[in-house]
Amino acid sequence: MLMMHFLDLQLGDRIITLMAALVLVLQIAMVTQRWIVVHIRIFAAQSFFLAMIAATIAWFNHAPHLYAAAALTVAVKVILVPILFERLVRRMKIHEEIEPIVNVPMSVVISGGLTLVGYVVAESFYRPDEPGLGHNALAVAISLFLIGFFTMINRRKALTQVLALLSLENGMFLAAISLTYGMPLIVELGVFFDVLVAAMVLGILVYRIRETFESMDVSRLRRLRG
Amino acid sequence: MIERLIESVTQFFLLLALAPLVTGVIRTLKARLQTRRGPGILQPYRHLGKLFGKGMVIPDTASWIFSATPWILFFSTALAGLMIPMVAADAPLGLFGGVLAVIYLLGLGRFFLALSGLDTGSSFGGLGSSREMTISALAEPAMMLAIFTVAIGAGSTGLTEIAGSAIGQNWRFLAPAQMFAFAALALVLIAETGRIPVDNPDTHLELTMIHEAMILEYSGPYLALIEWAASIKQLVLMTLLINCFWPVGLQHTWFGFGALQEIAWLLAKLLFLSCAIVLLETVNAKMRLFRVPELLAVAFTLSSLALVSTFLF
């Protein structure tokens, strides 16, 4: 019985490790991406893998309320927010490419370096003697967090900054579920409601910035307008 | 001793015979996927035969490098091919060098090819050489780090040991480190063999060509040698990718009743990888030359992530 449980954990560990790696790859893909619609879809895919990680943890750790979190992730971050943003993109008729401040090869290498930092930080939390789920999940979560921050700094347009913020939030979600194996459902609900409201408010805000300044470039917000 | 000799000779001829076929299969599959009929999978053999039967035009300005390059390129590539595990995990010339020897034998060929591009003094040759060197300088670190990831697992840079340690772990490539390294090496394979997001192997369009620009002055048997070497290099890199990361059906030694079965597995896996390459070439457009470093930066980052995740966890 104990042996079975251990094997189960090993399998779950491998699945989660693999999916966490995919999440990380998608985060780096977002850094390289120039087209905003593709950027939104990569975000949706990343969130989908995140939901799968949550569901896997729920299955192997017998934490049924994590299913609810997974379902909410799919509903909010895979379906609702991307649709909202794609509508926004269509309504604002954005056709131009994303122009990062640091060029793309350099940003990719910087993201790699940030991942290294994430792994080094997470290593001190790693206990090899305890069989746990997804031993790289925390490292990936910290990396997502750092790369999300970097992407926010690196982008000029408000909408892409919002997307970076959301991927940063994905990192926080991953850290939460991999450290605690599921927070109380009420906390999850609050977080998701928060994300949804934040996305909507930021969407409206981006639209207003665009209306007022005829551009989403936040570096133009320095000037005061009366 | 005599077994080694038989192995080496067999693998040598297998390389020479199989390489044009792989090129032909990729071309035909690609044509079919684009709803063209395509030239048939044996066309590269006919093409090589035709070129060997022709005379040569050698530019007046060319030095000895021009005539030496096809031979050096051909034999260094074939020698690199003998150092990789192809039929079995046991590479025929595995005792002479590991993966570093393979990478730098390929590098030697590339160096002479770039020199010969410069040698004739034509502007296209120089352009091709400079592009080729830029791309290979960026691809090489990614390739090294990806291979080192596998080498750490095996505890050796010998390819026999690397492929040997992979035997029996058919789904090992699902581990994140292996997956990162595999993806990085696949990107390097595309860049090194001049496949579509990086270079277009089918055209002589002067603005975009890389490999073709260097060999523009070659004709007849020399051109045949160079094209043959290019397809051998492609086969070598594909085999390396397959046998290090996806060792289904691989055995430790050559002799024994499984040798034919091993070759069948190798062909099946090569076909699978060719299909993947064809799909990738068809759905992608060629990148602008200045975007290629972005692709290779992704490859480099992936392979360093692979290395980091093997070390830290």
Query: If you average pLDDT over residues B199-214, what whole number do you get?
Result: 77
Of residues B183, B305, B313, nearest to A112 (C-beta): B305
Helix (H) or strand (E) holding A38: helix A36-61
Q: Is A112 on the interface with B (CB under 8 A)?
A: yes
Band of pLDDT at residue B15, cut at 50, 70 and 90: very high
3 state SS of A157 = strand
What residue in B sits closest to A113 (Cα-Cα)? B301
Q: What angle do CA B42, B191, B180 make, to 5 degrees?
A: 110
What residue in A sits closest to B300 (Cα-Cα)? A109
- Bridge-partner residues for A217, per DSSP? A157
pLDDT value of residue B48: 94
ipTM higher than the 0.85 cut: no
Which residue, chain included where needed, has tokens 């997956």? B179
- CA distance, residue A161 to nearest chain B CA (Å): 21
* The model's pTM: 0.86
Cα distance between residue A175 and residue B302, in whole Å: 22
Q: Is the pLDDT score of B113 beyond 90?
A: yes
Range of the domain at B25: 2-312
Cα distance between residue A176 and residue A145, in whole Å: 12
Closest Cα to residue A50, out of A73, A79, A18?
A73
Would the CB atoms of B297 and A17 count as touching at under 8 Å? no
Structure tokens at B63: 């030095």
- CA distance, residue A223 to nearest chain B CA (Å): 35
pLDDT value of residue A226: 57
Q: What angle do CA B66, B68, B72 make, to 5 degrees?
A: 125
What residue in A sits closest to B292 (Cα-Cα)? A105
Cα distance between residue B92 and residue B81, in whole Å: 9
Provide the CA A87 distance to its chain's centre, in angstroms: 20
Mean pLDDT, chain B, integer: 88
Cα distance between residue A107 and residue A31, in whole Å: 7
The 10 Å Cβ neighbour count of residue B241 is: 18
- CA distance, residue B148 to nearest chain A CA (Å): 17
Q: Is A116 on the interface with B (CB under 8 A)?
A: yes
Q: Is the pLDDT score of B222 beyond 60?
A: yes
Q: In chain A, how many domains are there?
A: 1
- CA distance, residue A101 to nearest chain B CA (Å): 15
- CA distance, residue B298 to nearest chain A CA (Å): 6
pLDDT value of residue A131: 58
* Chain segment B29-85, per-residue pLDDT in tens: 999 998 998 888 999 999 999 999 999 999 888 899 999 999 999 999 999 999 998
Residues 115-134, chain B, touching A (beta carbon < 8 A) = none
Band of pLDDT at residue B123, cut at 50, 70 and 90: confident
Q: Is B313 on the interface with A (CB under 8 A)?
A: yes
* Phi and psi angles of residue B285, each rounded to the nearest 5 degrees, phi first: -95, 160
Greater confidence (B312 vs A19) lies with A19
Cα distance between residue A202 and residue A208, in whole Å: 10
Greater confidence (B165 vs A5) lies with B165
Range of the domain at A178: 2-222
Structure tokens at A96: 């131009």
Greater confidence (A123 vs B229) lies with B229
Cα distance between residue A120 and residue B305, in whole Å: 12
- CA distance, residue B193 to nearest chain A CA (Å): 21
Query: If you average pLDDT over residues B279-299, what whole number do you get?
Result: 87
Would the CB atoms of B297 and A24 count as touching at under 8 Å? no
Poorest-confidence range of A131-145, B80-94, B134-148? A131-145
Greater confidence (A130 vs B145) lies with B145
Q: Is the pLDDT score of B259 beyond 70?
A: yes
The segments of chain A whose pLDDT lies below 70 read 1-9, 95-97, 127-135, 181-183, 216, 220, 223-226
What residue in B sits closest to A21 (Cα-Cα)? B176
pLDDT value of residue A182: 64
Band of pLDDT at residue B103, cut at 50, 70 and 90: very high
Closest Cα to residue A104, out of B92, B72, B301, B25?
B301
Q: Residue A89 burial by CB count (10 A; 0-12/13-18/19+): exposed, middle or buried?
A: middle
Q: Is A119 on the interface with B (CB under 8 A)?
A: yes
Q: List chain A residues with CB under 8 Å of B308.
A: 115-116, 119
Q: Is the pLDDT score of B256 beyond 80?
A: no
Would the CB atoms of B176 and A123 count as touching at under 8 Å? no
Greater confidence (A11 vs B86) lies with B86
* Chain segment A84-95, per-residue pLDDT in tens: 888 888 887 776
pLDDT value of residue B312: 67
Band of pLDDT at residue B157, cut at 50, 70 and 90: confident
Would the CB atoms of B313 and A104 count as touching at under 8 Å? no
Would the CB atoms of A136 and B309 count as touching at under 8 Å? yes
Q: Is B139 on the interface with A (CB under 8 A)?
A: no
The count of C-alpha atoms lying within 13 angstroms of the C-alpha of B63, restricted to the half-sphere facing its C-beta, is 8
Cα distance between residue A199 and residue A203, in whole Å: 6
- Bridge-partner residues for A157, per DSSP? A217
Closest Cα to residue A5, out of A62, A53, A55, A45?
A62
One-letter identity of residue B226: I
pLDDT value of residue B286: 83
Would the CB atoms of B175 and A18 count as touching at under 8 Å? yes
Q: Is A21 on the interface with B (CB under 8 A)?
A: yes
Q: In chain B, how many domains are there?
A: 1
Give just the sign of the alpha carbon dihedral A192, A194, A195, A199.
Answer: positive
- CA distance, residue B305 to nearest chain A CA (Å): 7
Would the CB atoms of B300 and A112 count as touching at under 8 Å? yes
pLDDT value of residue B155: 85
pLDDT value of residue B177: 85
Residues 127-186, chain A, touching B (beta carbon < 8 A) = 135-136, 139
Q: Are A177 and A200 in contact (CB under 8 A)?
A: no
Closest Cα to residue B194, out of B208, B211, B206?
B211
Q: Is A190 on the interface with B (CB under 8 A)?
A: no
